[in-house]
Structure 1
Amino acid sequence: MRSKSFTLLLVEDELADAALFQDMLAEVGGSMTVHHVEHGQAALDFLTRQGEHADAPRPDLVVLDLNMPVMNGHEFLAQVKQLERVRSIPVLVLSTSDRPEDVHRSYDAQASGYVVKPGTYQEYTRVLETVQAYWQGVLSLPSFADLQLDHRTPERDH
């Protein structure tokens, strides 16, 4: 396990689903700080520190629902992966859709993973244990400070 803090941005329009996700993550022992926004535009604002999100931390992982108002998950992925400064942040799609088109479209847009929302409490617990162990424990992720030290690529947000 990594010792540094881990920040997750949850992009989910259903408040009950967002609360369940956060409660279950805490229950499985997740030591992640979770920030929640309700649609893709708010997530872009969070990542680019716009408006009310001017002081937002850089998340280590974005967990993204697909079906949302204002800007859906597919639109968010298409835009965020064009922004050089934040495109390296992994995005895990967590959706009720098991449609092959949604899975393929998400990966084509550079999603880091795709998980169909589980139907039972036990399955959901297992998924969140896996998410926590994999993303916080096993993976090496770039930090924003590390990216700033890399002088080979100038930062450009489009």
Structure 2
Amino acid sequence: MNRKPFTLLLVEDELADVALFQDLLADSVSEVEVVHVSNGQEALQYLKREDKHLNAIHPDLVVLDLNMPVMNGHEFLAQVKQQPALRSVPVMILSTSDRPDDIQRAYHGYASGYVVKPSSYEEFQRVVKTIEAYWNGLVRLPTIADVTARMPT
């Protein structure tokens, strides 16, 4: 049972993929709020509540593309996992890349999971439903209060 609506930060530069992801999640039974940003730099600003994201909601999960302009997914992941206040936010990679070096680099950078974007609508639908069911239904996630209370001073 969730304590609040599940918030997902979708970091994706392809608007068609954003629309598809949001449409497929809208079909989901549970309440999921999707916040979209188009690159790693904006995602980092969102998580740090900087610039136009001063009132950002702490996401329960970040779904991250790797190949983006400005700051790519690997660079974003490295930045997030270096910061104690952000380290516990789960980051799942959703990328077209099936390259072993991308997968290894993502896990070495403390990604919480790696999923290759499917090529068919039906497979994409299955992947999105599985992501939602796992992260919003099965896994126990820390609250922002838990995270901030345990941060070193």
Q: TM-score, normalised by structure 1?
A: 0.93
Quickly say closer, same or farther: Cα 1:94–1:30, change in 2 above 3 A.
Answer: farther
Distance in 1 between residues matched to 2:54 and 2:31, nearest whole Å: 24
Distance in 1 between residues matched to 2:37 and 2:29, nearest whole Å: 22
Q: Which residue number corresponds to residue 25 of structure 2?
A: 25
Q: Which residue number corresponds to residue 2 of structure 2?
A: 2
Q: Which residue number corresponds to residue 154 of structure 1?
A: 152
Q: Which residue number corresponds to residue 40 of structure 2?
A: 40
Aligned length: 153
SS in 2 for 1:49: coil
TM-fit CA distance, 1:147: 2.2
Quickly say closer, same or farther: Cα 1:66–1:129, change in 2 above 3 A.
Answer: same
Distance in 1 between residues matched to 2:143 and 2:73, nearest whole Å: 24
Q: Which runs of 5+ in 1 are unaligned?
A: none
Distance in 2 between residues matched to 1:103 and 1:58, nearest whole Å: 26
Q: Report the aligned-residue RMSD.
A: 1.2
Is 1:143 matched with 2:143? yes
Check conservation: 1:40, 1:68, Cα contact below 8 A: yes
Check conservation: 1:28, 1:128, Cα contact below 8 A: no
SS in 2 for 1:94: strand
Distance in 2 between residues matched to 1:118 and 1:28, nearest whole Å: 19
Check conservation: 2:91, 2:112, Cα contact below 8 A: yes
Which consecutive aligned stretches of 4+ in structure 1 deviate over 2 angstroms post-superposition? 1-4, 147-150
Q: Which runs of 5+ in 2 are unaligned?
A: none
